Amino acid sequence: MGSKISLALALLLELLWAAAGLHRSQFPDSFLFGASTSSYQVEGAWLEGNKSATIWDVFTHLPGKIKDGSNGDVADDHYHRYLEDVELMHSLGLNAYRFSISWSRVLPRGRFGDINTIGVEFYNNLINSVLSKGIQPVVSLCHLDIPQELEDRYGAWLSPEIQEDFGYFAEVCFKAFGDRVKYWITINEPNLMLKFGYLIGTIPPCRCSLPYGNCTSGDSTLEPYIAAHNVILAHATAVDIYKSKYQVKQGGFIGIVINCKWYEQLRNVSEDYIAAQRALAFDVGWILDPIIFGDYPTEMREILGSKLPTFISQERRKLRHKIDFIGINHYTTHYVKDCIFSSCELNKYDGNALVFTSAQRNGQLIGTPTPMENIFVVPYGMEKVIMYFKERYNSTPMYIMENGFPQKSSNDMLLDDLVKDPDRIDFMQNYLTFLTKAMRQGADVRGYFVWSLMDNFEWLYGYSVRFGLYHVDYTTQKRTPKQSAKWYQEFLADQRLLHQKTGTNLKTQGFK
Ligand SMILES: *[C@@H]1O[C@H](CO)[C@@H](O)[C@H](O)[C@H]1NC(C)=O
Ligand SMILES: *[C@@H]1O[C@H](CO)[C@@H](O)[C@H](O)[C@H]1NC(C)=O
Ligand SMILES: *[C@@H]1O[C@H](CO)[C@@H](O)[C@H](O)[C@H]1NC(C)=O
Provide DSSP, 29-77: TT-EEEEE--HHHH---TT-TTPPPBHHHHHHTSTT-STTS--SSSTT-
Distance CA 223, CA 491 (A): 45
Superfamily for domain range 27-261+372-502: Glycosidases (3.20.20.80)
Instruction: Say how far apart CA 228 and CA 195 lie, in whole Å.
Output: 10
Ligand with the closest atom to the CA of 206? 2
What lines the ligand 1 site, CB under 6 Å? 50, 116-118
Number of the ligand closest to the Cα of 216: 2
Residue of 149, 151, 189, 458 marked catalytic: 189
Q: How far is the CA of 147 from the centre of ligand 2 (A)?
A: 29
The per-residue pLDDT for 411 is 87
Note the pLDDT of residue 499.
47
Closest protein CA for atom 14 of ligand 2: 214
- Is there a catalytic annotation at residue 121? no
Residues touching ligand 2 (Cβ under 6 Å) are: 210, 214
Query: In a mutational test of the pocket of ligand 1, which residue from 50, 106, 116, 149 has the highest number of ligand atoms less than 8 Å from its CB?
Result: 50
- Please give the sequence-ordered ranges of beta strands (E in DSSP) within 236-301, or none if there are none: 253-259, 262-265
Q: What is the mean pLDDT of each run of 10 residues along the chain (512 residues)?
A: 64 57 93 98 98 98 97 98 98 98 98 98 98 98 98 98 98 98 98 98 98 97 98 98 98 98 98 98 98 98 98 95 97 98 93 97 98 97 98 97 96 94 98 98 98 98 97 98 97 65 35 30
* Centre of ligand 2 from the C-alpha of residue 8, in Å: 64
List, in order, residues 6 or more apart from 383 with CB less than 8 Å away: 434, 435, 437, 438
What is the model's pLDDT at position 494?
76
| Per-residue model confidence (pLDDT) at position 16 | 56
The residues spanned by each domain of the chain are 27-261+372-502
Instruction: Give me the count of residues in the chain.
Output: 512
Spell out the residues 6+ positions from residue 312 whose beta carbon is closer than 8 angstroms to its own. Answer: none
Radius of gyration of the chain (CA): 22
Among protein residues, the one with the nearest Cα to ligand 2's atom 4 is 214
Q: What's phi and psi for 460, nearest 5 deg?
A: -65, -20
What does the pLDDT read at residue 21?
84
Nearest ligand to the CA of 201 is 2
Query: What pLDDT, on the 0 to 100 scale, is given for residue 503?
Result: 40
What pLDDT was estimated at residue 20? 58
**Which residue from 210, 214, 217 has its CB within 8 A of the most atoms of ligand 2, so it is best to mutate?**
214
Q: What is the pLDDT of residue 512?
A: 27
Q: Which ligand is nearest to the CA of 269?
A: 3
Asked if 261 and 245 count as a contact pair (C-beta separation under 8 A), the reply is no
pLDDT at site 495? 54
Strands (E), 127-252: 136-142, 183-188
Catalytic annotation present for 402? yes
Within 8 A by CB and 6+ apart from 500, the residues are: none
- The DSSP secondary-structure symbol of 468 reads -
CA angle 279, 280, 284 (to 5 degrees): 130
Q: Which atom of ligand 1 is nearest to the CA of 116?
A: 14
Spell out the alpha helix ranges (H) of 350-406.
380-392
Task: Give me the sign of the Cα torsion angle 204, 210, 216, 221.
Answer: positive
Report the DSSP beta bridge partners of residue 447.
32
Q: Please tell me the distance from the alpha carbon of residue 59 to that of residue 69, in angstroms, as a whole number.
A: 11
CA of 50 to the centre of ligand 1 (A): 6
Q: Compute, in angstroms, the gap from residue 200 CA to the centroid of ligand 2.
A: 14
For 45, 94, 98, 259, 343, the CA distances from 327, given in Å and listed in that order, are: 28, 18, 11, 8, 35
> What's the 214 CA to ligand 2 centre distance in angstroms?
6
The catalytic position among 43, 161, 402, 458 is 402
Name which residue sits closest to atom 8 of ligand 2, judged by CA: 214
